[in-house]
Amino acid sequence: MDASYLFAQNFLNTKFEDLPAEVVAETRNQVLDFIGVALGGSDKSAAREIRQLYNDWGGKPHATVIGWGDELPAAHAAQVNATQGHSLDYDDVHEAATMHPGVVTITTALAIGEYLGGISGRDFIQAVAVGGDMISRLGLATRPGKSIHPFGWHFTTLGGFMVSAAVAGKLLGLDADGIVSAIGIGYHQCSGNGQAVTDGVLTKRMGPGFAVCGGIKAAFLAKMGVTGARGAIEGEKGFYRVYHGGDYSPERLTGELGKRWESANISIKPYPSCRGTHPFIDAAEQIRREHPFTPEEIEKIDIFCGKGTLGLLCEPFEAKIRPRNPVDAQFSVPWGVAVSLTRGRPGLGDYTDEAIADGAVLAAAAKIEVTNDPALDGTGLEPATVEVALRGGRRLSAHVELATGSPGNMLSYDDVVEKFRGCLSAAGRRLPDEKADGLVEFVRSLESAGDVRELFKCAVF
């Protein structure tokens, strides 16, 4: 039996009461975090253009665009919301799976919930949590023991088509065969590549939006009777054989399905950049806190990293120490370390067109040397070592294995509230304080909500 059937049955068989408390709590964190980063990214390039395009095209007003309040067809609203939520590269992540679950699951569930005329907070949490588990398992099962970065896929986009289709299919009331067809129709669209990161272009921000738009359309087509591949995931020409050469772990994919919840292991980002940069920023922050010095005292900065980090976040080296645009900066270990050592804890203001021209940060970045340490090679979030040589011969160092926000070092709801309020400062327009407070309290008790559409009373400027 193909895994798509097992995932479909898991969506249908799992009740809210079956979800462990830590899964419900982490899902609440995800939702508030996503609303915050979507508001913060609401006027950013790529999000701005896709919103304008769909407003120009028009269509039935099924669902709402976060922040702006535009009413668009469900698939289009979800695509705009996903693009806004991914624009800052500040959205949640499952580190070991190399997936951003919330940008796929939350946007899909919100759009379908509105299309249906409302769903309860419990049903919303169930769909998001089961979808988060599915997308995380898709990533965890892929090429076990290997870094996925050299193979060129953008995992969230690639897997997002099928997961969005499954989430939407569940909420639309499809039976198991219908959800399997929705997954199959989603699979027929699967795409998403890492060249956008290499080239530092805006399509990196748009990938998850393409996925949820395609996934939602897949579910509606399945509901209308269109059939999709039955072996979409493990078939002879299914996802793992076509996209990954058959290199996957069935046990990681569906082992203990409904019992082991990977949605409990989704991390909230403390810094607005690719998650792979965070252990290095943590290390730089540790050095700066424990050993005060001025940027002018820095003679050299040595960064030691794993092979996956080197290829994705340190090359091409010139673009990483002198970013051509904010996307380069978001995907640069050297930039994050240089910001931390010169300006302090990196925030949204450190990844703008103005910030990447900062002379002090560029001067520090020019003193960086990056070396691959095979001892740091891994398959998920790789550890970090940073060493700083100062005038006078002092040499400072820090090593980080468990980044802030990782399982075992997770952010609390209050931590997420603080991040949420910080995201609002980057939004295109100001969200009134009473609406911000309303969102915080609504999500805090999300499982008690009678209708998740109430959220939009506070999520619109």
The type of residue at 317 is: F
What average pLDDT does the chain have? 97
Kindly report, residue by residue over 26-52, the tens digit of the pLDDT.
999 999 999 999 999 999 999 999 999
Cα distance between residue 122 and residue 402, in whole Å: 32
Give me the torsion for CA of 348, 354, 356, 359, rounded to 10°.
-120
Cα distance between residue 348 and residue 89, in whole Å: 10
431 burial type by CB count under 10 A (0-12 exposed, 13-18 middle, 19+ buried): buried
Give the pLDDT of residue 208: 98
Kindly report, residue by residue over 88-111, the tens digit of the pLDDT.
999 999 999 999 999 999 999 999
Give the pLDDT of residue 48: 97
β-strand partners of 269:
none
Domain 275-400 top-level CATH class? alpha beta
CA angle 138, 141, 147 (to 5 degrees): 105
Cis bond before residue 334 (omega within 30° of 0): no
Can you give the residue ranges of every domain in the chain? 3-269+409-457, 275-400
Cα distance between residue 348 and residue 87, in whole Å: 11
Give the pLDDT of residue 426: 86
Under a CB-based contact definition with an 8 Å cutoff, are residues 202 and 88 in contact? Answer: no
Asked if residue 77 has pLDDT above 90, the reply is yes
Average pLDDT (417-444) is 96
Q: What pTM was estimated for this model as a whole?
A: 0.93
Give the pLDDT of residue 142: 97
Give the pLDDT of residue 98: 93
Give residues with Cβ within 8 angstroms of 191, minimum separation 6: 157, 158, 161, 210
Give the pLDDT of residue 310: 97
Q: Phi and psi for 193 in degrees, rounded to 5?
A: -130, 160
Which CATH architecture describes the domain 3-269+409-457? Orthogonal Bundle (1.10)
Kindly report, residue by residue over 134-149, the tens digit of the pLDDT.
999 999 999 999 988 8
Report the candidate in 106, 88, 107 with the shortest Cα–Cα distance to residue 422.
Answer: 88
Report the candidate in 16, 253, 34 with the shortest Cα–Cα distance to residue 130.
Answer: 16
Asked if residue 4 has pLDDT above 90, the reply is yes
Give the pLDDT of residue 124: 98
Give the pLDDT of residue 379: 83
Give the pLDDT of residue 247: 98
Give the pLDDT of residue 149: 83
Asked if residue 227 has pLDDT above 90, the reply is yes
Asked if residue 308 has pLDDT above 90, the reply is yes
Kindly report, residue by residue over 346-365, the tens digit of the pLDDT.
999 999 999 999 999 999 99
Asked if residue 380 has pLDDT above 90, the reply is no
Cα distance between residue 261 and residue 350, in whole Å: 35
Asked if residue 233 has pLDDT above 90, the reply is yes
Average pLDDT (327-334) is 96
Cα distance between residue 162 and residue 208, in whole Å: 12
Kindly report, residue by residue over 146-175, the tens digit of the pLDDT.
988 899 999 999 999 999 999 999 999 999
Kindly report, residue by residue over 403-428, the tens digit of the pLDDT.
999 999 999 999 999 999 999 998 98
Cα distance between residue 111 and residue 401, in whole Å: 38
Under a CB-based contact definition with an 8 Å cutoff, are residues 182 and 169 in contact? Answer: yes
Asked if residue 13 has pLDDT above 90, the reply is yes
Cα distance between residue 204 and residue 436, in whole Å: 28
| Proportion of the chain above pLDDT 90, given as a percent | 97
Give residues with Cβ within 8 angstroms of 289, minimum separation 6: none
